[in-house]
Amino acid sequence: MQSPIAPDVRLESTELEAGLHAYRCPKSGGYWIPLQSYLDWREVHAQVRPLPDGYEPKVTDDTSRPALLCPESGCLLVRFHVGHGLKFQIDRSPKTGGVWLDAGEWDALKSKDLHGELHVVFSASYQRKIQEEAFEKQLDARFKARIGEADFRRVNDFADWLHAHPKRREILAYLLDEELQHKPLPDFNVREHVGSPTASLPAEEVEA
């Protein structure tokens, strides 16, 4: 099989973990993991090699990279967001189920305990959650820029206090009533400025 990253380079058979058969690109250091190899390894709950103490994921942000080709079928690989603070995306074959990981991405997945749950990462519900979390971060950034960082912290502190208060409904009703007695503020729909949280879901998703 040829490397998705370097089509002129042949992948070399290897073990990514004990019992996990994969194919490594000698040029890029990335790995192709066939679906059945991963399922067999996951079924026996094989032990993984420990990460170094103080390990921090160091991988390249590949979100702007063109789509890759599946080394098994030749089809385009579909990209899936990982989340959990990891900026890279996982490339998966919609035909064979195989997965391409760039150099360092396997260890990054291990650092977040996602290496044994790739099937969850590829599910529609997981991808939707990642998109919603990213959307909420955009909302926070817009609001912070609008009112300032200091006031943004005050608003969040108040929101945390209110959420834990046993009479938060009464407090909210009181605040809304007070606000309605004043001159209405100009409308600002921050969602119209950011967009829909599900606008950029992957073209193909696999339900868990």
180-191 pLDDT per residue, tens = 666 555 555 545
Q: Count structural domains, the chain.
A: 2
Asked if residue 110 and residue 133 are part of one domain, the reply reads no
pLDDT of residue 118: 86
Which residues pair with residue 32 across a beta bridge? 23, 100
The Cα–Cα gap between 37 and 20 comes to 6
Residue pair 25/9 in contact by the 8 Å Cβ criterion = yes
Of the listed ranges 33-47, 148-162, 175-189, the one predicted with least confidence: 175-189
Asked if residue 114 and residue 16 are part of one domain, the reply reads yes
Find tokens 């190899």 and name the residue: 37
pLDDT of residue 204: 53
CB atoms within 10 A of CB 189: 7
Per the domain annotation, does 4 fall within a domain? no
Res 30 pLDDT > 60: yes
- Last-in-domain residue among 82, 103, 122: 122
Asked if residue 16 and residue 108 are part of one domain, the reply reads yes
Parent domain of 170: 127-194
Residue pair 127/81 in contact by the 8 Å Cβ criterion = yes
pLDDT of residue 198: 54
Per the domain annotation, does 207 fall within a domain? no
Asked if residue 118 and residue 18 are part of one domain, the reply reads yes
Asked if residue 55 and residue 156 are part of one domain, the reply reads no
Asked if residue 117 and residue 23 are part of one domain, the reply reads yes
pLDDT of residue 208: 44
More confident call, 100 vs 132: 100
More confident call, 104 vs 129: 104
pLDDT of residue 11: 97
- The pair of structure tokens assigned to 139 is 């909302």
Asked if residue 108 and residue 51 are part of one domain, the reply reads yes
Question: What whole-number percentage of the chain has pLDDT above 70?
Answer: 80
- The pair of structure tokens assigned to 142 is 């817009």
Per the domain annotation, does 2 fall within a domain? no
Whole-number average pLDDT of the chain: 82
Per the domain annotation, does 199 fall within a domain? no
Asked if residue 178 and residue 108 are part of one domain, the reply reads no
pLDDT of residue 187: 55
- Which of 191, 156, 169, 31 lies closest to 100 in space, CA to CA? 31
Residue pair 5/25 in contact by the 8 Å Cβ criterion = yes
Mean pLDDT of 41-61: 72
Res 155 pLDDT > 60: yes
The Cα–Cα gap between 144 and 150 comes to 9
Residue pair 5/30 in contact by the 8 Å Cβ criterion = yes
More confident call, 58 vs 70: 70
- Last-in-domain residue among 71, 87, 122: 122
Mean pLDDT of 56-67: 74
Per the domain annotation, does 201 fall within a domain? no
Asked if residue 154 and residue 96 are part of one domain, the reply reads no
| Residues contacting residue 134 through CB under 8 Å, at least 6 positions apart | 81, 197
pLDDT of residue 196: 55
Residue pair 38/94 in contact by the 8 Å Cβ criterion = no
pLDDT of residue 206: 46
